[in-house]
């Protein structure tokens, strides 16, 4: 049995494919289109998944779509007329819903097939149920509370439930127009970060400020006694004016969400190139703080309601790794699972798992221990790519390879590390990574000067051998997907300044030898030479989606000042000063 999961006509379009109880592949459309957060119908991701499975679309048994146009349809229509949304806005929404409902026609047209030639049953799975499934069914918990929390999907923003065995029960939802994701996005725009997905910039900026404005924000984001929340709609455009959104054929775009009332209460909007003032930093700290408090508020009520000790979380707000790192300390839950793709791309997995477990009632699959589900290339394919451009290379294996790379890193080099299957999800986890020496206080500046050109306030992450977490971090936990931020021990912060944020924290990735032996081997080689079991790890890209192919990795290497490129066992290097 083959199940094809799809996230379509929404940001971070994606696809995955299961064969019986095996997840064969999963990838995001942006990796092929080279446009961040690409929104639309993921034809190239689907083609990739089918190729990895070795089948044609006609052999798929179920197509699971993480969108249900019928969900809350009456509420959508009533809200549109009640708030007198513009005809243009209503037509835009109707067209998007029509496309989401016409998946079969889209597939038939793309694969040039006759009507009736698909044997697959197409099943629409509501957006937040897809999120719930992507977290719980991929975890190793037999029973857990579940939270899906993001902007909007199928008219809802938050959903809580219980998972037990192969069944999920929904307990409650927060519906349009209330959304903590919209709250965070609105203030992200207000702070001068206008692009879709810029929320992580506010999270990175927050430690530079003091949370002085939390009480003022309590008038914006209102906690309710039932463990949920609502927005003060005076601050937001979307309920009355509607907000034009582009969810197709390119970069997702959302119009400004804040109202003149918000500007009146919080002051002038920061222009994109305007220097960041202390007020901006303090407001960012306050936004982050109240968001964390809301997450704890929801989870503590959920724990009391269910009596469970395990919690699974997904959704865009679940990408807030700073909040994630504080959940166990600030709630009554004892264990937390967040999948490698907790954002909307992961709903393709969730929709497929909802069909497999919830609808077909199949036994649970093995838990997801890694996110390495995308494209992969052999040494021969990599060498062919280099030969086509007359690039000199060296072929090394095992310790010889590790020794060459670690020496480069110790000599202040920056290395592009391209290995195995690409990661599914927003984090580079040692397969499509740029790595550097975490001991160098200037490593951050070197990386930004040579390659990334990011805002100076954004941190870089440490990849740490999992056995040494207790030596460097205040909290000991396995964090395989770089999904949590923990405090670094004070006596270790000066040792690894390049991955220590201004508040003394790090967004760690724990590296398990059993899961990722090659990346582990490199870090272990570095540890033997330096005494430090950590590498600085950032995504292999330059203001673009993470590189997907050897050609893209080589192009990034050639147009930047990267010192070494390692693809598989193939090494390309410049002379390191």
3-state SS record for 68-137: CCCCCHHHHHHHHHHCCCCHHHHHHHHHHHHHHHCHHHHHHHHCCCCCCCCCCEEEECCHHHHHHHHHHC
> 363 versus 451: which is more confidently predicted?
363
Round to whole Å and give the CA distance between 59 and 43. 17
In a domain? residue 160: no
**Of 79-88, 316-325, 329-338, 372-381, the least confident:** 79-88
Tokens 């400020």 found at: 209
In a domain? residue 98: yes
Domain edge (last residue) among 77, 105, 129: 129
In a domain? residue 240: no
In a domain? residue 161: no
In a domain? residue 393: yes
Residue-wise DSSP of 537-561? EEES-SSSSPP-SHHHHHHHHHHS-
Domain edge (last residue) among 72, 104, 129: 129
376-410 per-position pLDDT tens digit: 999 999 999 999 999 999 999 999 999 999 999 99
Domain edge (last residue) among 72, 107, 129: 129
At 206 the three-state DSSP class reads: helix
Do residues 295 and 317 touch, judged by C-beta distance below 8 A?
yes
Do residues 545 and 30 touch, judged by C-beta distance below 8 A?
yes
**Of 180-189, 318-327, 446-455, 561-570, the least confident:** 446-455
CATH number reported for the structural domain that contains residue 410 in this entry: 3.90.870.20
Where in the sequence is the domain holding 510, given as residue range(s)?
379-573
Task: Give the list of residues 6+ apart from residue 491 with CB closer than 8 angstroms, or none.
Answer: none
In a domain? residue 360: no
Residue-wise DSSP of 338-380? --TT-SGGGHHHHHHHIIIIIIT-PPPPPP----B-S----HH
CATH number reported for the structural domain that contains residue 58 in this entry: 3.30.420
Number of domains composing the chain: 2
197-206 per-position pLDDT tens digit: 999 999 999 9
Burial class (CB in 10 A: 0-12, 13-18, 19+), 208: middle
In a domain? residue 462: yes
In a domain? residue 403: yes
248-304 per-position pLDDT tens digit: 667 888 889 999 999 999 999 999 889 999 999 999 999 999 999 999 999 999 999
**pTM recorded for the entire structure:** 0.93
Mean pLDDT of 545-573: 97
């Amino acid at each position: 049995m083959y199940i094809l999961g799809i996230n379509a006509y929404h940001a971070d379009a994606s696809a995955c494919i299961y064969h019986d109880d095996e997840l064969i592949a999963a990838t995001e459309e942006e990796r092929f289109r080279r446009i961040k957060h690409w929104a639309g119908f993921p034809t190239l991701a689907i083609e990739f998944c089918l190729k990895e499975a070795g089948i044609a679309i006609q052999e798929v048994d179920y197509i699971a779509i993480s969108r249900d146009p019928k969900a809350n349809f009456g509420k959508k229509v009533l809200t549109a007329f009640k708030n007198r949304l513009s005809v243009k806005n209503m037509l835009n929404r109707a067209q998007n819903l029509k496309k989401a409902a016409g998946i079969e026609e889209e597939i038939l047209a793309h694969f040039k097939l006759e009507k009736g030639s698909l044997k697959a049953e197409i099943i629409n799975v509501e957006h937040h149920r897809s999120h719930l499934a992507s977290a719980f069914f991929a975890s190793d918990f037999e029973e857990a509370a579940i939270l899906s929390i993001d902007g909007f999907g199928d008219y809802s923003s938050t959903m809580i439930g219980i998972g037990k065995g192969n069944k999920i029960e929904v307990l409650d939802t927060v519906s349009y127009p209330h959304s903590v994701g919209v709250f965070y996005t609105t203030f992200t725009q207000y702070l001068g970060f206008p692009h879709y997905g810029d929320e992580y910039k506010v999270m990175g900026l927050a430690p530079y400020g003091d949370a002085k404005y939390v009480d003022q924000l309590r008038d914006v984001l209102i906690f309710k006694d039932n463990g949920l929340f609502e927005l003060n709609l005076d601050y937001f455009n979307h309920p009355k004016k509607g907000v034009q959104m582009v969810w197709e054929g390119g970069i997702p775009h959302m119009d400004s969400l804040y109202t003149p009332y918000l500007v009146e209460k919080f002051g002038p909007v920061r222009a994109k190139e305007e220097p960041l003032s202390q007020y901006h930093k303090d407001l960012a700290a306050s936004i982050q703080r109240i968001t964390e408090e809301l997450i704890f508020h929801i989870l503590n009520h959920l724990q009391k309601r269910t009596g469970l000790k395990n919690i699974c979380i997904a959704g865009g707000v679940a990408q807030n790794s700073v909040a994630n790192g504080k959940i166990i300390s600030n709630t009554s839950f004892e264990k937390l699972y967040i999948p490698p793709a907790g954002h909307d791309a992961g709903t393709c997995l969730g929709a497929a798992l909802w069909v497999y477990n919830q609808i077909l009632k199949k036994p649970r699959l093995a838990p997801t221990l890694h996110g390495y589900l995308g494209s992969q290339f052999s040494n021969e394919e990599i060498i062919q790519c280099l030969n086509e451009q007359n690039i000199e290379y060296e072929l090394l294996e095992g310790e010889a390879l590790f020794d060459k790379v670690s020496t480069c890193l110790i000599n202040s080099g920056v290395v592009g590390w391209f290995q195995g299957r690409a990661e599914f999800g927003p984090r580079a986890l040692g397969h499509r990574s740029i790595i550097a020496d975490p001991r160098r206080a200037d490593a951050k500046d070197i990386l930004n000067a040579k390659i990334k050109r990011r805002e100076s306030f954004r941190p870089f992450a440490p990849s740490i051998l999992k056995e040494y977490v207790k030596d460097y971090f205040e909290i000991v936990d396995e964090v395989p997907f770089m999904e949590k931020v923990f405090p670094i021990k004070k006596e270790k912060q000066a040792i690894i300044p390049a991955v220590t944020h201004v508040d003394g924290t790090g967004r760690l990735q724990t590296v398990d030898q059993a899961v990722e032996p090659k990346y582990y081997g490199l870090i272990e080689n570095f540890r033997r030479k330096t005494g430090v079991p950590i590498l600085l790890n950032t995504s292999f890209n330059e203001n673009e989606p993470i590189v997907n192919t050897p050609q893209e990795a080589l192009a990034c290497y050639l147009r930047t000042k990267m010192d070494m490129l390692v693809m598989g066992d193939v090494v390309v290097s410049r002379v390191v000063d």
